[in-house]
Amino acid sequence: MLAKLHQDHLNIAKLLQLLKSKLDAINEERAVNYALVRDVIDYLREVSDSYHHPKEDLIYEYYLKYRLVEGEISHRLQLEHASLIEAGTELKEMVEMILLDAVIPLDQFTAKLARFIAQQEAHMNYEEGVVFPLLREALTEDDWRQLEQQWQNRAIGDPLFGPEVSQHFKELAHRLSLPIS
């Protein structure tokens, strides 16, 4: 399960890199495909917020239930997931307004986009550097089997990095040079 979560992080990092390139283009006053920015945010909301983060929460809740954990670490993950959902929602609304030709101060948008990227990266670094090592060390094979069984009925296919790219994400897959089936 951790290997899949780690792969998800690598995929998310590719998307964040794409958002950084769009942020640079905006700052350099070059043309930006805001529909592509929206697609990245859609993916992060659809997959990360609805699948990836709940899977992490399930594992971490299991860990907290059976292991003694002290300090801020016991609640930080859930707080960050909630904060990422809120930031993604706000950014999506702003991009949608731009796509509808609403007048949005560019400096507000770039600041929000930069914060969103930084927040996503800091969160993944925290998980990779602190949370995942704790889980690897503490959970047994039986624990992982138990977690796999709990998760099985919630598993969904990845609409961008999975074996079949959904119609919604075809342009994004093309932009990332992913095979499209």
Backbone angles phi, psi at 38, to 5 degrees: -60, -40
Q: Which of 118, 113, 122 minimizes the C-alpha distance to 37?
A: 113
Q: What is the pTM of this model?
A: 0.90
Taking the C-alpha atoms of residue 111 and residue 74, their distance in angstroms, rounded to an integer, is 30
Average pLDDT of the segment spanning 21-27:
96
Taking the C-alpha atoms of residue 112 and residue 118, their distance in angstroms, rounded to an integer, is 10
Higher pLDDT among residues 2 and 180, named by residue: 2
Domains of the chain with bracketed CATH = 2-175 (1.20.120.520)
Q: How confident is the model at residue 33 (pLDDT cuts 50, 70, 90)?
A: very high
